[in-house]
Structure 1
């Protein structure tokens, strides 16, 4: 089994300077690259319970469990500097995961954004918006999704789509698995606000980055050393942007296991 930490070596943060210069205002959550020359947004996967939807929400479930005294008391004791209990009191549990996600298992089916949007009679992504919590509002009008829906994860492409995307990148990179790549993790992922976290490795080893033992997420930015393509995953969004040649973008759009859209109003 490949050792991720051996395959991906830490390099000076200066390697991400060109991305910072392109998008200096978003270094905390990831750098959004400009079209180079084309771009597409991958929509993070969501899932529905096969037996049908319910009106009970994720927040309803949380409130019931809390009222029954079944919540996990693990964490800082009240009064500790890290205690956030008071801050979270009254917060709505939306059902949205932050970071890594994947197929929930038996009994769940893939629910495409297009399927849900069509049922609601609304666009997949409203004009002028990015894939995030302002999308598919009729699916979570009060903030929390139906407990029979596993909504898109925030901040990280789902596991299955990440592996599928790496396969597309391999086919559209002349050096294939040997393509030299760099991976940047933003401070909201690393909690390191002093130094940029950048790793260097091979595209053939990029699928394994999804499970880097020191990170809760896929890279915020992954790019070929020659900058011919960039993958951008903002910690605050439900979508992952891929920029590069039109042939690559068309391949992402055509892949049956990926759900992707062009958003012409984005950078």
Structure 2
């Protein structure tokens, strides 16, 4: 596989000008495109320990480790200890991630929501911390759950989405695309970071060594489809033709919903 820095080249930040017109209030966390003509949200994956749920939360584990006199506990992977609600360690991962490994299974939002008798995403809200509140009433999730990542689609979901985009794009793997990384990902507040490359090489963007996340926006050069992954959300929006949207909704590897109130 070619190195991502060899297959994706930096281009002018002016490439995002059209996105700014669609969503002038955003940018630092990603540009939210409207329905063009259809849209779907891919819910970021979560996982549950095969042994079942426990009442002990991620915050309980963190506070217990501190109280025991052990060294300050380090977050697993790229979990951000500052990603808290008040003083609560939520357990939510910030940035890229994927399946935790042996002993864990995929936990669908729909499965968890059914158990609590609530919708996976309540009407009027975006996929994020206001969802599935009964699963994290104090802000912290059960330690037996790896909750949805904030700000980035999971590794397996990104790879699958790129394959579906290539299958439905008239130019397939050869489609020229542009990828925008928001300032919260790059840490650069003075310029827009945009890369250009082929859709066939887009799966590799997930592991870009200079980034901690998938692109905030990825779009076909002809603007026939756009991917939006906001740094503050647990879902990734795809806008484009209905045939593409329906293929995402029907894909067994992805969990996706139409949320008409999101535009």
Partner of 1:21: 21
Partner of 1:49: 49
The equivalent position to 1:232 in structure 2, one of 213, 224, 228, is 228
8 Å contact from structure 2 (residues 83, 89) kept in 1: no
Aligned 1:1-267 pairs, distance under 5 A: 1-72=1-72, 91-267=87-263
User: Could you say what secondary structure the match of 1:227 adopts?
Assistant: coil
Tell me by how many angstroms 1:71 deviates: 3.6
Tell me by how many angstroms 1:230 deviates: 0.3
Distance 2:6 2:62 in 1: 41
User: Could you say what secondary structure the match of 2:66 adopts?
Assistant: helix
Distance 2:201 2:53 in 1: 39
Distance 2:53 2:82 in 1: 32
Tell me by how many angstroms 1:26 deviates: 1.1
Distance 2:83 2:127 in 1: 27
In the superposition, the TM-score normalised over structure 1's length comes to 0.93
How many positions carry a matched residue from both structures?
Answer: 257
User: Could you say what secondary structure the match of 1:206 adopts?
Assistant: helix
User: Could you say what secondary structure the match of 1:182 adopts?
Assistant: strand
User: Could you say what secondary structure the match of 2:218 adopts?
Assistant: strand
Change in CA separation of 1:226 and 1:52 when aligned onto 2, cut-off 3 Å: same
What is the CA RMSD across the aligned residues, in angstroms?
1.8
Change in CA separation of 1:73 and 1:241 when aligned onto 2, cut-off 3 Å: closer
Partner of 2:77: none
- Consecutive aligned runs of 4 or more in structure 1 exceeding 6 Å deviation: 85-88
Tell me by how many angstroms 1:44 deviates: 0.1
Residues 87-136 of structure 1: per-residue CA shift (max 9 Å, x gap)? 98x72110100000100000000000000000000011000000000000
User: Could you say what secondary structure the match of 1:199 adopts?
Assistant: strand
8 Å contact from structure 2 (residues 83, 90) kept in 1: no
Is there any run of 5+ residues in structure 2 with no aligned partner, and where? 75-80
Change in CA separation of 1:139 and 1:41 when aligned onto 2, cut-off 3 Å: same
Tell me by how many angstroms 1:72 deviates: 4.1
Distance 2:232 2:83 in 1: 19
User: Could you say what secondary structure the match of 2:128 adopts?
Assistant: coil
Residues 203-235 of structure 1: per-residue CA shift (max 9 Å, x gap)? 000000000000000000000000000000000
Worse-matched range after superposition: 132-141 or 64-73: 64-73
